[in-house]
Amino acid sequence: MIHSVRFTCVLDTNVIYPIEIRDLLFWFAHFDLFTPKWSAHIFDEWESVMNRKGAPKKLIQKRKDSVNAAFPDAFVINYEPLIAGLTLPDPKDCHVLAAAIKINANVIVTNNLKDFPQDYLASFGLVAKSADDFIADIIDLNHDRAVEAFRKLVINRRNPDLDEYEVLDNFRKNGLINSADYLHSLI
């Protein structure tokens, strides 16, 4: 069995906000398939998106608190001094790269790949992967544990209760096509 808890990934806001993607990533992390990391900037962006989508402030705080309680070591600190020295197509993404550099991450998981040029990231020993590619890679590393995490996600899902195949359909609708197909082939 390949145990990949040491595989450290910074999760960009755009993979934390969509609940379907976030749930699968967090269940995989809970099952020690990788170690998630994020920063204050990422959480500020997440809060901003939830505000724009009309989430009540109380719910926003509850989500942030529950995520930090579930993964107390995920918060990256002292990365801010690195931001000014970085150059990305969208300067607003430099904080993500700075956090990844600070903790010597393996991967930045983002659905905004165009703003994370592979050659530039490689100079820091990093790669960026879409959520779908990253999750499919994690499934490939450990089929049994990934299926176990997926089934736990399904069992704990509420509002509405969905079966495995309905959850997989929701993953596909949220861009996790390869991951959903991979999981489907294993269940």
Rounded Cα gap, residues 110 and 125, in angstroms:
16
Q: Evaluate whether residue 152 is within a structural domain.
A: no
Q: Evaluate whether residue 173 is within a structural domain.
A: no
Show the domain range for 78: 8-132
Do residues 147 and 103 lie in contact, with contact meaning Cβ atoms separated by under 8 Å? no
Taken in order 121, 135, 176, 21, is the CA torsion positive or negative?
negative
Q: Evaluate whether residue 96 is within a structural domain.
A: yes
Rounded Cα gap, residues 171 and 130, in angstroms:
14
| Domain CATH number, residue 56 | 3.40.50.1010
Rounded Cα gap, residues 49 and 8, in angstroms:
25
Q: Evaluate whether residue 185 is within a structural domain.
A: no
For 36-98, give the secondary structure using H, E and C: EEEEHHHHHHHHHHHHHCCCCHHHHHHHHHHHHHHCCCCEECCCHHHHCCCCCCCHHHHHHHH
Q: pLDDT for 146-180, tens place per residue?
A: 999 999 999 988 777 888 898 999 999 999 999 99
Q: Evaluate whether residue 183 is within a structural domain.
A: no
Q: Evaluate whether residue 164 is within a structural domain.
A: no
pTM of the predicted protein model:
0.90
Q: pLDDT for 31-80, tens place per residue?
A: 999 999 999 999 889 889 888 988 888 988 898 888 888 998 999 999 99
- Count of structural domains within the chain: 1
